[in-house]
Homo-oligomer: A and B are copies of this chain.
């Protein structure tokens, strides 16, 4: 399997010529110009990724759920116990979690990757173990992981993306599980966008005002430590194992030339890391939804991405990416299947004619 460096070297910028052809085609389809709004711009971006117009429908799709634990939980940043990460991995394997229901609904396959769960997991179908370490260290006190560990997690993600596309996947969705992972995500987003810790730190799975203030202080301390350092070091210092693997997965998807559909704030943080390491991968990214976590909107704005959905969701797991997949696929079908004014014999508006 190619490692992260191989994948990074293979990423090429998306194709502006195919995008221009798609833009022109949108204007000839039987609808007022622009009337399909962001479905049109999304289809144009898919053409740029596929380097042809109309672009193929991005299917079959796979959602990879990377799981890891977080030493920063010792700071009291989440009300949920760490054991829930492993329990939820078992729930994914049993098919009972939101991501299973939503992936099944949209015809996507679920793959779960243990890249850093603190417990030893019982073997289960659909769960791959590539454990880099048993949870990160407490990023409030020390580096979350070493640069070598971050690189290893990047390799795990890049290799999986390559493998999935080789097996036939034509759209990669991001998923994550890790109790406490909104804290490293907020730290990465603050560090990589320049926003303040207050502006990008949210309530995660549900915390009160005092706990939120503590969480902001943890994020602020972590961010101060990484000021001016290169993105790989930022990732190692204040990131998470599943976030690093997601960043590798994003780059691996871009290297393989397929669209990568992002879930919420954890994926947004990983995408910022990926784009900082390999700027040309940004053209392959599609934002499934905007999470209610404030860091999500900040990261998407920095990446120049508009979310397909905005349903006040904040679950993670890949739930928002799955729910957005039919919209992404529809944007390709519009370009491929709609009649043109000419082919359908429909009059164009006089001032366009």
Contact = CB atoms under 8 A, between A and B. Distances in A.
A36 B319 contact: yes
Given A30-B96, A339-B96, A327 B347 contact: no
Contact of A338 (B34, B35, B98): B98
A39 B311 CA distance: 7
A185 to B, nearest CB: 15
Closest 10 CB pairs of A and B: A96-B339, A37-B312, A32-B205, A35-B315, A37-B313, A326-B326, A87-B346, A38-B311, A79-B349, A91-B344
Interface in A298-314: 308-314
B101 A333 contact: yes
Given A31-B97, A90-B344, A106-B330, 9 more contacts: A33-B206, A37-B312, A37-B313, A96-B338, A98-B338, A102-B330, A102-B333, A105-B330, A205-B349
A347 B81 contact: yes
A213 to B, nearest CB: 18
Given A96-B30, A334-B98, A339-B94, A308 B311 contact: yes
Interface residues of A, number: 60
A32 B317 CA distance: 12
A22 to B, nearest CB: 15
A344 B36 contact: no
B339 A97 contact: yes
